[in-house]
Amino acid sequence: MKTYSNFYSGGLEVNKSITRIEIQKQPEFITETLLTEGDHAIEIARKITKDKIHKMFFVGCGSSYCASLLAKYLSDSLTNNCSDALNGYEFTRFPPMSINKKAYVFLISFSGESEDIIQALQLAKKHKIYTIGVTCIKNSTLHKEVDEPVLLRDFNLASQGPMVGGYSTQVAWFYWLIGHISKLSLSHNRTEQILQQFMKLPQILRVIIEDEEKKMAELAKNYKEEQGFYVIGSGPLYSLAYKLAHTMITENVFMHGSVVTSGEFRHGLIEKIEKRVPVILLLGYRDSMTERVLRFVRSHEAETIVFNANHYSRMDEAFLPLLLSIPTEWFTYYLSLEKGRLPEYRRYMNKEPF
């Protein structure tokens, strides 16, 4: 089997890997997105406030679904609006009764061509709901057919690799939007704090990107023989746990990945914990339940990796998925190389009928 070092002697251009480029450029992607679409987000926030919209649906698939979970989290935390996060199929196959003209639907697709999202768009149009399409590809189906398109960044690499840069820009844009919805309606100290912290976010991410690469490359060497991981997180970090388990460990690295929210650990996974079982924990601030899980898995000698938010610059907990996404992305990137493949490689996606 090829390992990380073999990629160099084998002539593969690892430094030009799409995944690697997107990890490194996330601060620039976020900055560019807010420069080009930040004012647009404020306009939409004003429209939502003026029209007294009290129901918002965030609909995505894969990493875009993970971004939708964070949009719902922050909306629930900062506004009085009712919100829901659904994947495209669930929205279309089991449409909520609350779909009506007083709702907004945010349809999120990196490529703008995701089948389930286009079907969700068609359903929303049928119900005459105002649709906002959040994509990274100009002139995609989603970009052209929604009532209001949002172009986060025109990625030339969008159809070729994992959605790394896309996830961070989606989350940043939704946070900017929801922060301004809150500012226009309820404004409180936390809202102002979040909006102010956007100014220092890119530089904080740059430091983490540089500091964590070598550490995660070394860590990955220890796990190249593993078959999979349980991934555990809570609150806003559950979104990243879901992304890490399913779109990074399973999709990108070809390992088994299973996600569990910290509060459900003792209602299932606890019975599977034993010596050498691989567990990844995403630990947030004052995260008492995840700390309890950590103590338990260590006491039973499980093989434990902890990504601890307390090791990085202090920010509002809403930003923790963006901070911890960097080391987890480096870890899975190098783990994929250790297993002899680039993470952007796909066996079936967009290659075989499904």
Residues 158 and 296 in one domain: no
3-state secondary structure of 177: helix
Percent of the chain with pLDDT over 90: 80
pLDDT tens string 284-294: 999 999 999 99
> Is 101 buried (19+), middle (13-18) or exposed (0-12) by CB count in 10 A?
exposed
3-state secondary structure of 93: helix
- pLDDT band at residue 341 using 50, 70 and 90 as cut-offs: confident
Residue range 85-95: mean pLDDT, rounded: 96
pLDDT tens string 173-207: 999 999 999 999 887 889 999 999 999 999 999 99
Tell me how far apart the alpha carbons of residues 169 and 127 are, in angstroms, rounded to a whole number. 29
Residues 242 and 180 in one domain: no
Number of structural domains found in the chain: 2
Q: Residues 137, 138, 140, CA angle at the centre, nearest 5°?
A: 75
Q: What is the mean pLDDT of the chain?
A: 91
pLDDT tens string 125-171: 999 999 999 998 889 999 999 999 999 875 544 444 445 678 999 99
pLDDT tens string 305-323: 999 999 998 999 999 999 9
Residue 102 domain flag: yes
Tell me how far apart the alpha carbons of residues 189 and 13 are, in angstroms, rounded to a whole number. 47
pLDDT at residue 115, as a whole number: 95
Residue 317 dihedral angles phi and psi, to the nearest 5°: -60, -20
Residue range 4-10: mean pLDDT, rounded: 37
Residue 35 tokens read as 């420069």
Residues 225 and 101 in one domain: no
pLDDT at residue 164, as a whole number: 65
Residue range 267-287: mean pLDDT, rounded: 97
Residue 104 domain flag: yes
- Asked whether the predicted pLDDT for residue 3 surpasses 50, the reply is no
Provide the CATH number for the domain around residue 147: 3.40.50.10490
Domain that holds residue 192: 19-197
Residue 350 domain flag: no
Whole-prediction pTM:
0.92
Residues 64 and 182 in one domain: yes
pLDDT tens string 200-237: 999 999 999 999 999 999 999 999 999 999 999 999 99
pLDDT at residue 353, as a whole number: 81
